[in-house]
Amino acid sequence: MRILSGIQPSGKLHVGNYFGMMKPMIENMGRGELFAFVVNFHALTSVQDRDRLAQDTLEAAADFLALGLDPEQSVFWVQSDVPEVTELMWYLSSVTPMGLLERCHSYKDKVAKGILSSHGLFSYPVLMAADILLFQAEVVPVGKDQKQHLEVARDIAIKFNNTFGETFVLPEPQISENLATVPGTDGAKMSKSYGNTIGIFQTAKQLKKNVMSIVTDAAAIEDVKDPDACNLYNIFKIFAPAERTAEVRDLYLNGGAGYGYVKLELVDILWEYFREARAKRDELVGDQGYLREVLAAGAVKARSHAAKTIDLVRDKVGIKY
């Protein structure tokens, strides 16, 4: 089974990214052929600052490795190091109906949030389809928000196969239903572009500040509260051990849960949760030579797979003459 997913280096990675995509990818190690990459071409649609994009690309790679992705047990690279993906995007663009892209929520949401409505942003799903189809991926672990993009990738593959003959494997999304969306500090989906994130690798001070800013109601300690309606509890339960979550749940239901105390406990739990990964990340960020070597070796492996698909596609469409 071939499993593939990518992450945008469009800002510091947060615990929603970890649970929605990075953790499932890391857990898939050993279950099949694993392809993981940092999608810097995609990030260019929202980050137009040279130094930030370059630095966040390397940092996202360091984050993924520090969290447990083993480059020996996977193919791990930066998207732009395999330029065949942009060539495939053109072939796919030529069979992609406009209506398919016009229906995409993500484009409309991003424009509503103030991201420049560029052609790149509009055709973002075609580049994502190229990412997936170039490697003939069968399974794509992503958060729920990417479901529609996966459907678009499948539709494009079907359209291409119908037009030029059987070429692409149809990819399936892998979305963990019990944890589809991690809430942000304001209760909306945690997202880099909403300013409501809890970073995976923040300083202790930033972490405390973000956790303390989790929005709650004004109930007093002794009040009975509904844990499931509480944003703080919904974040707490993701990280706390099951027994502790059950105890805190009881406090909510019977009176006795103080938001301030739960927040302080969450700060400690989060700090411990990522302790080992944090040490590994510091090491990687301090040794950029090693990081770049890992990425270069990954790109060589990725290109050898990409070359096979591109050759086949050129032949199918008649570009090979």
Among 182, 238, 299, 302, binds ligand ADP (CB under 6 A): 182
Active-site residue set: 110, 189, 192
Give the phi and the psi of residue 183 in degrees, each rounded to 5: -70, 150
Is 21 a residue that touches ligand ADP (CB under 6 A)?
A: yes
* Residue from 36, 58, 132, 190 in contact with ligand TRP (CB under 6 A): 132
Contact flag: residue 14 with ligand TRP (CB under 6 A): no
Which residues have C-beta within 8 Å of that of residue 92, sequence separation ≥ 6?
126, 129, 130, 133, 156, 160
Q: Which is nearer to ligand ADP, 87 or 145 (CB)?
A: 145
Taking the least distance from each CB to ligand ADP, the nearer of 115 and 219 is: 115
Which residue, 6 or 183, is less far from ligand TRP as judged by CB?
A: 6
Find the part of the chain contacting ligand TRP (CB under 6 A) among 124-132, 228-236, 237-245, 278-286: 124-132
Residue pair 108/121 in contact (Cβ under 8 Å)? The answer is: no
Nearer to ligand ADP, 143 or 298 (CB): 143
Does residue 92 bind ligand TRP (CB under 6 A)?
Answer: no
* Residue 192 binds which of ligand TRP, ligand ADP, none (CB < 5-8 A, kind-dependent): ligand ADP
Q: Which amino acid is at 261?
A: Y
Q: Which of 80, 193, 216, 234 binds ligand ADP (CB under 6 A)?
A: 193
Site residues (CB under 6 A) for ligand TRP, limited to 33-72: 39, 42
Query: Which of ligand ADP, ligand TRP, none does residue 301 bind (CB under 5 to 8 Å by kind)?
Result: none
Asked if 9 and 38 count as a contact pair (C-beta separation under 8 A), the reply is yes
Task: Name the residue with the smallest CB distance to ligand TRP.
Answer: 6
The window from 10-18, 164-172, 218-226, 297-305 that contacts ligand ADP (CB under 6 A) reads 10-18
The residue from 131, 133, 152, 305 that contacts ligand TRP (CB under 6 A) is 131
Can you give the three-state secondary structure of the chain, one letter per residue? CEEEEEECCCCCCEHHHHHHHHHHHHHCECCEEEEEEECHHHHCCCCCCHHHHHHHHHHHHHHHHHCCCCCCCCEEEEHHHCCHHHHHHHHHHCCCCHHHHHCCHHHHHHHHCCCCCCHHHHCHHHHHHHHHHHCCCCEEECCHHHHHHHHHHHHHHHHHHHHHCCCCCCCEEECCHHHCCCECCCCCECCHHHCCCCECCCCHHHHHHHHHCCCCCCCCCCCCCCHHHCHHHHHHHHHCCHHHHHHHHHHHHHCCCCHHHHHHHHHHHHHHHCHHHHHHHHHHHHCHHHHHHHHHHHHHHHHHHHHHHHHHHHHHHCCCC
Of residues 7, 36, 137, 238, which one binds ligand ADP by CB under 6 A? Answer: 7
Report in angstroms how near the CB of residue 90 gets to ligand ADP at its nearest: 24
Mask: binding to ligand TRP, 149-188, rule CB under 6 A, as x and -? x---------------------------------------
Where on the chain is the footprint of ligand TRP (CB under 6 A)?
A: 4-6, 8, 39, 42, 128, 131-132, 140, 142, 146, 149
Where on the chain is the footprint of ligand ADP (CB under 6 A)?
A: 7-8, 10, 16-17, 19-21, 142-143, 145-146, 181-182, 189-193
